[in-house]
Amino acid sequence: MNTIQPQTEDQATVQVKIDSSATNLLGLDRTGLEEFFESIGEKKFRATQVMKWIHQLGVVDFQEMNNLSKGLRNRLVESSYIQNLQVSEDLLSNDGTRKWLLKLPDGNVIEAVFIPEDGRGTLCVSSQVGCALDCSFCSTGRQGFNRNLTTAEIISQVWLASQLLDEEKKPGRKITNVVMMGMGEPLLNFNNVVAAVRIMMDDFAYGLSKRRVTVSTAGVVPAMDRLGDVIDMRLAVSLHATNDELRNELVPVNKKYPLKELMAACRRFIDKQNSRSRITFEYVMLEGINDRPEHARELIKLLEGIPTLMNLIPFNPFEGSGYRTSSNNAISRFRQILQDSGMTTVVRKTRGDDIDAACGQLAGKIEDKSRRHRRFAEPRFGME
Ligand code: SAH
């Protein structure tokens, strides 16, 4: 494991916020930027010029934007700013995974992780400070919840990662895919996540295709429907159980949106997509809990008719979780049953283990407003 010297505050924020009505241009998608330019009496096409400067060229100082007139640059300085998050830790794993702890203006810390694989580089992005969903096997959930990230805070993770990976000047260290699988439930921060995804996919910004941006949800059914209505992109669903009784325990949001409704929402989502793509299902392998052959067979039945990419995730343990990872044998057996039914099934490799960057290990440093942290710190007995 290596620690890379974090950037200074000056590098993160060149433009200083002038007054509270000023806008952080980093968080505006194309439509938002067009509206902004119109509001200051400028032509809409300035939006794409400025998007290119910020997201493609990494320029955050208006004075460097030399296809804008001097007058306009000065006006931008008065009415707006471009502010990134501050890198408070920068960790490089032996397997090439790189994780950033990013400090928010209110002192909370979130995490973003770059995972290099053959021919691609995936950035795992956070959508909230903590998470309110309280999944029993997830360490982010145990930390409790503080607030939604703004669009600027979401996109800043992509901006910083691109810049810092560029600085490595090594082949193959480029973001080709983004997964909203960091801290938080993206669909409970709907508008900000959708705007950030639009920036990721914009040809004047990061230009990622709709197959290369994935939003992962624990199953917030109404928001899945809305997502399908407004944007064409990949969806991942954290399933983890094949019946309501077990899923209520592992993923408590299931009590609100049980499996039958969730599966119906998946089918509706697929129907809405232009390019009838697949849904990725995530299934964490917990020893003795959800990893038996009969679970695999139930899974096949549950997902019948849904174009599926199954992602089996060996459970990443953390202190006090109370769960163990399934054995390699149990995982292979489970995978074989799914594959024999014709389901494309991959076992996700654990990456960045030495820097705590694996799924469910992202913890950041948050001030919990749900007081869940305290609840877990208390002895379990005598509570009920
Ligand atoms: N809230 C969203 C986004 C988080 S994605 C969602 O639930 O989909 C993070 C993925 O890692 C989810 O599939 C989550 O269930 C899984 N995960 C959480 N804790 C884990 C752990 N300890 N080991 C393995 N996977 C875990």
Q: How far is the CA of 343 from the centre of ligand 1 (A)?
A: 21
Task: Tell me the best of 131, 247, 284 to mutate to test the pocket of ligand 1, counting ligand atoms within 8 Å of each CB and taking the most.
Answer: 284
User: What residue owns the CA closest to ligand 1's atom 24?
Assistant: 315
Q: Which atom of ligand 1 is nearest to the CA of 217?
A: 8
Q: Say what the pLDDT of residue 371 is.
A: 59
> At residue 364, does pLDDT exceed 70?
no
Residues with catalytic function = 111, 359
Please classify residue 347 by burial: count the beta carbons closer than 10 Å to its beta carbon, then call 0-12 exposed, 13-18 middle and 19+ buried.
Answer: middle
Q: Say what the pLDDT of residue 5 is.
A: 59
User: What residue owns the CA closest to ligand 1's atom 4?
Assistant: 181
Mean pLDDT confidence for 62-85: 96
Q: How far is the CA of 301 from the centre of ligand 1 (A)?
A: 23
- Dihedral sign (CA 210, 212, 217, 219): positive
> At residue 72, does pLDDT exceed 60?
yes
Position 350 confidence tier, pLDDT thresholds 50, 70, 90: confident
Position 189 confidence tier, pLDDT thresholds 50, 70, 90: very high
pLDDT in tens, 294-335: 999 999 999 999 999 999 999 999 889 999 999 999 999 999
Q: Is 287 left (phi over 0), alpha (psi -120 to 50) or beta?
A: beta
Q: Say what the pLDDT of residue 54 is.
A: 98
Q: Say what the pLDDT of residue 15 is.
A: 43
Q: How many helices (H) and strands (E) does the chain have?
A: 13, 15
pLDDT in tens, 257-292: 999 999 999 999 999 987 668 999 999 999 999 999
> At residue 38, does pLDDT exceed 60?
yes
Nearest to 262 by CA among 278, 244, 285: 244
Per the DSSP assignment, residues forming a β-bridge with 117 are 120
Angle at 197 between CA 237 and CA 83, to 5 degrees: 130
Per the CB < 8 A criterion, the answer to whether 13 and 83 are in contact is yes
Q: What percent of the chain lies above the pLDDT cut of 90?
A: 80
d(CA 376, CA 271): 41
> At residue 93, does pLDDT exceed 70?
yes
Angle at 106 between CA 101 and CA 109, to 5 degrees: 15
Task: Tell me the best of 193, 237, 238, 251 to mutate to test the pocket of ligand 1, counting ligand atoms within 8 Å of each CB and taking the most.
Answer: 238
| 131-135, 197-201, 206-210, 364-368: range with lowest mean pLDDT | 364-368
Q: Which atom of ligand 1 is nearest to the CA of 323?
A: 22
Q: How far is the CA of 309 from the centre of ligand 1 (A)?
A: 16
The reported pTM is 0.92
pLDDT in tens, 338-348: 999 999 999 99
Q: How far is the CA of 251 from the centre of ligand 1 (A)?
A: 10
d(CA 233, CA 253): 23
User: What residue owns the CA closest to ligand 1's atom 19?
Assistant: 360
> At residue 50, does pLDDT exceed 50?
yes
Q: How far is the CA of 362 from the centre of ligand 1 (A)?
A: 10
Give me the chain's average pLDDT, please: 91
Per the CB < 8 A criterion, the answer to whether 178 and 136 are in contact is no
Q: Which residues line ligand 1 (CB under 6 A)?
A: 135, 137-138, 181, 185, 216-218, 238, 282, 284, 313, 315-316, 359-360
Per the CB < 8 A criterion, the answer to whether 133 and 218 are in contact is yes
Task: Tell me the best of 110, 125, 181 to mutate to test the pocket of ligand 1, counting ligand atoms within 8 Å of each CB and taking the most.
Answer: 181
